[in-house]
Amino acid sequence: MAIAHAVRQSELRPPLRNRLQALHGRDATQAYLMIAPAVLLLVVLVAYPFMLSLWLSMTNKSVGNPAEFVGLRNFTTQLDSQIFRQAFRNTIWYTAVTTVVKLVLGFALALLLNREFRGRKFVRAAMLLPWIVPSVLSTMAWLWLLESNLSSVNWALKHAHIIRKSIPFLTDPGWAMASVMTVNVWRGTPFLGITILAALQTIPRELYEAAELDGATPFQRIRAITLPQMYPTMIMTFILQVIAVVQIFTEPFLLTQGGPANATLTPVLVIYRKAFQDGDFGLASAWSLSLIIVLSIFSAIYLRFTRRSV
């Protein structure tokens, strides 16, 4: 009787495969429901604006005027634009100088903080303050330091009898570019220093001890051990910095408004002017898509390098 009852119960139960499929269906439904809010946000905040920008880039849409399809005219206009070409040249120069300087200073700072000394933890934490402070606030502080009429830097240099005339930090093309670069380097170096420091601490100490026993000088140890071990981190940090600096906006916008004589103009600032000052959304969209293409190239290089390094 017991055997017959068990047989009947097993016949009433659905096959194991059907039960697993039903369970998988419930789990898949729950998973879709859980990721739905994130997908919705991506669609609303990323996908829709991107598709709208793609459409606007092929129209002559401006404030108060309907959009008319113009094809690739906005992109060809970009190539013929003297302002955009100057902004692009400024960005190449700006990116090259600030990225290299930040890498060198960040590497030196990481080597210094990798040593044992009293208060090292406090110095590491305090070093991140320029990077933690919102960029608008720190840039406004620099504006107060460098502004022509109220420059405290000029005041200090004059009272120290180092200069006689005020330095036109923000009104001379050369000084203005140097000032914007200085602010960016001041803000970005701590982050690079901490990033490189984290990579330095993964290098086995035994390598340095063996080199020291062989009589290697500190410079030789850096050249033979530190730099080769740090190469992947330095390359990835360099690419990330290029991606970040190409999008620079806050410093030139608040310090110089892209001037004087467009000396500190950047592509993002040009796009901002076209969209929100000139009201030419078609041209601004086309130029923003061109910038996205440039950034995508660097992003692809970064992803390819990270996969190879892993």
Region 116-132: mean pLDDT is 81
Domain presence at residue 34: yes
Backbone angles phi, psi at 62, to 5 degrees: -145, 170
Reply yes or no on whether the pLDDT at 113 is more than 80: yes
Alpha-carbon dihedral of residues 96, 101, 102, 108, nearest 10 degrees? Answer: 150
pLDDT band, residue 181 (cuts 50/70/90) = very high
Contact 181, 256 (CB under 8 A): no
107 plus 148 within the same structural domain: yes
More confident of the two residues 181 and 35: 181
44 plus 86 within the same structural domain: no
Q: Which two tokens stand for residue 164?
A: 């006689």
pLDDT tens for 259-284 read: 888 899 998 999 898 888 888 888 88
158 plus 253 within the same structural domain: yes
In the chain, the number of structural domains is: 2
Long-range contacts of 167-175 (CB under 8 A, 24+ apart): 170/143, 170/146, 170/255, 170/256, 170/260, 171/260, 172/260, 173/260, 173/261, 173/263, 174/263
For residue 102, the model assigns a pLDDT of 92
H helix intervals, the chain: 2-12, 16-42, 48-56, 73-80, 82-113, 120-127, 129-132, 135-146, 152-159, 173-200, 205-213, 218-221, 227-246, 250-255, 267-272, 281-309
43 plus 118 within the same structural domain: no
Reply yes or no on whether the pLDDT at 178 is more than 90: yes
Cβ neighbors of 289 (< 8 A, separation 6 or more) are: 53, 54, 57
Reply yes or no on whether the pLDDT at 98 is more than 90: yes
88 plus 34 within the same structural domain: no
Share above pLDDT 90 across residues of the chain, in percent, rounded to a whole number: 13
Reply yes or no on whether the pLDDT at 180 is more than 90: yes
Region 131-136: mean pLDDT is 87
* Paired residues of 280 in beta bridges: 62
Region 85-106: mean pLDDT is 91
Q: Mean pLDDT of all residues in the chain?
A: 83
42 plus 86 within the same structural domain: no
Residue type, 51: M
pLDDT tens for 143-176 read: 988 887 778 888 888 888 888 888 888 989 899 9
Domain presence at residue 70: no
Q: For residue 268, how many other CB atoms are within 10 A of its CB?
A: 20
For residue 7, the model assigns a pLDDT of 47
Domain presence at residue 42: yes
Reply yes or no on whether the pLDDT at 295 is more than 90: no
Range of the domain at 33: 15-48
Region 85-95: mean pLDDT is 90
CATH number, position 87: 1.10.3720.10
Contact 260, 172 (CB under 8 A): yes
CA 83 vs CA 250, 262, 275, 292: distances in Å: 19, 8, 15, 19
Count Cβ neighbours within 10 Å for each residue of 227-239 and write b for 16 or more, e otherwise.
eeebeebbebbbb
pLDDT tens for 220-249 read: 888 888 888 888 888 888 888 888 888 889
23 plus 123 within the same structural domain: no
